[in-house]
Amino acid sequence: MKIELFEMERAQSLWENRVKYNLTESGIHPYTLEEFLESDEIEKLLSIRLGYGQTNGSEELREAISRLYPGTNLDNVLVTNGTAEANFITIWQYLNPGDELILMLPNFMQIYGLARSFGVKVIPFHLREELKWGPDLDELKSLVSPRTKMIAVCNPNNPTGAVLSESDMKEVIRLAQEADAWLYSDEVYQGAELVGEETPSFWGLYDKVIACCGLSKAYALPGLRMGWLVGPKDKIEEAWSYHDYTSISSGILSNWLASLVLQPERRKKVLDRNRKILKENLIVLEEWVQKHKPLFELIPPRAGGIAFPRYNMKINSTELADKLMKEKSVFIIAGDFFGMDGYIRIGYGTEKDYFKAGLALIDETLEEFSGKSSV
């Protein structure tokens, strides 16, 4: 097996800590422990012995996760080291060389590269800008066949911030059922909606659904490296055996902290704080895009901390990103990483003043393209 280079992740790893303004972060400004723990909880944290915990996740944490998914209990949950491990385990567990995976694009590209490296045939179906980043369901219908082993979606979506409607979700499920295929749903941005109710999970809509989520995005706690899979009990027990060959267990401190975060009152407090950051910064971004029309067009994201504007300039997206990084020390994600030149991904979940300062430096570069001051 020869893996494909995960180009976007490698670029972020190389540069996100070297630039002055990192606007590639896909989550929300992270918490410190002091910001969300009480003094007695900090004392408790200091007293925990640093041994191996329960390898499939502490019972306390799995029970807290199961409360988010009606009809489940702790045996429907496997705790992983971030959603990246959850994705890896799922592709490894369910797909074999020659199987067909229908994958929503654009998307976080880990599954795309990983599945191809495993010899899986990856068949894209697309979200369309002309549908306000809604799914092309006619395209999906035309691609589903008896050879389809899995359909994978990301909802809310990375990088567009789009959210599937109830009718769209039902149609995706109907098509999966028709093919007797698994439906894998990356739901890591659930809880980061800017307005309205939380995005419903695909869990419970069909007996062959595997849902993935974690604390890195909506909860602003990427450093805990906490992810999870929710699915039928027998398949989750099977996934645990794959987990035995990857990281074996997640950190005992992270398990304890995650179980606190997911208690109902604490969870609401965390998500409310994060939505406030997103709402305020999205206003900044929308005003910035409006100021730069017709150079930029944006369908505002409905959830998450990233936006995917289209630009109207005669420059490749990688070249634009490199220019900003080298000349202004501002890091953005090129649309090329999603196979979509002419777009860029901007993270807006950071501190507001930092975000504004990064955009101001992009302004200086845009003057070269517009031929006039953008300030």
Per-residue pLDDT of 245-296, as tens digits, reads 999 999 999 999 999 999 999 999 999 999 999 999 999 999 999 999 999 9
Which CA distances in Å does 39 have to 33, 34, 35, 57, 269? 10, 8, 10, 25, 17
Residue 225: half-sphere exposure toward Cβ, Cα within 13 Å = 10
From CA 367, how far away is CA 11, in angstroms rounded? 26
What pLDDT, on the 0 to 100 scale, is given for residue 2?
85
pLDDT at 371: 59
**Mean pLDDT to the nearest integer, 154-178:** 98
pLDDT of residue 45: 96
User: What pairing do the DSSP bridges indicate for beta strands 21-22 and 330-331?
Assistant: parallel
pLDDT at 370: 65
Burial label for 228, CB within 10 Å (0-12, 13-18, 19+), is: buried
**What is the C-alpha to C-alpha distance for residues 101 and 114, in angstroms, rounded to an integer?**
11
128: three-class secondary structure by DSSP: strand
Residue 374 in this model has a pLDDT that exceeds 60: no
| Identity at 74, one-letter amino acid code | L
Q: 299-336, pLDDT tens digit by residue?
A: 999 999 999 999 999 999 999 999 999 999 999 999 99
Cα→Cα distances 345→21, 213, 309, 335, Å: 14, 21, 7, 7
Amino acid at 217: K
Per-residue pLDDT, 15: 87
What are the boundaries of each domain within the chain? Answer: 7-31+267-366, 49-266
Q: What is the pLDDT of residue 31?
A: 97
Q: Candidates 3.30.460.80, 3.40.50.150, 3.40.640.10, 3.30.565.10; correct CATH number of 49-266?
A: 3.40.640.10
**CB 108 within 8 Å of CB 186:** yes
Q: Band of the pLDDT at 131, cuts 50, 70, 90?
A: very high
Asked whether the beta carbons of 179 and 146 are under 8 A apart, the reply is yes
Superfamily of domain 7-31+267-366: Aspartate Aminotransferase, domain 1 (3.90.1150.10)
Handedness of CA 346, 351, 352, 355 (dihedral sign): negative
For range 186-210, the mean pLDDT: 96
Average the pLDDT over 28-34 and give the result: 96
* φ/ψ (deg, to 5) at 248: 70, -55
Q: What is the pTM of this model?
A: 0.95
Angle separating helix axes 233-243 and 82-94, nearest 10 degrees: 110
Which residues touch 126 (CB under 8 Å, ≥6 apart)?
104, 105, 106, 135, 136, 139
Residue 1: band (very low, low, confident or very high) from pLDDT cuts 50, 70, 90: confident
Which DSSP state fits 303? B
State what percent of residues in the chain have pLDDT above 90. 92
The residue among 104, 118, 77, 233 whose CA lies nearest residue 175 is: 104
Residues 144-156: what's their mean pLDDT? 97
How many whole angstroms separate alpha carbon 285 and alpha carbon 359? 8
Examine the pLDDT at 369 and tell me if it is beyond 80.
no
When the pLDDT of each residue in the chain is averaged and rounded to a whole number, the result is 95
Q: Are 54 and 247 in contact (CB under 8 A)?
A: no
Distance, CA of 160 to CA of 137 (rounded, Å): 17
Q: Residue 375 pLDDT more than 80?
A: no
The Cα–Cα gap between 183 and 111 comes to: 14
pLDDT for 233-248, tens place per residue?
999 999 999 999 999 9
CB-based contacts of 107, cutoff 8 Å, min separation 6: 152, 154, 157, 158, 186, 338
Query: Range with the lowest mean pLDDT among 3-7, 86-90, 354-358?
Result: 3-7
Residue 188 CA to residue 158 CA, distance in Å, equals 9
* Closest to 363 measured CA to CA, from 296, 266, 268, 264: 296
For residue 305, what pLDDT is reported? 96
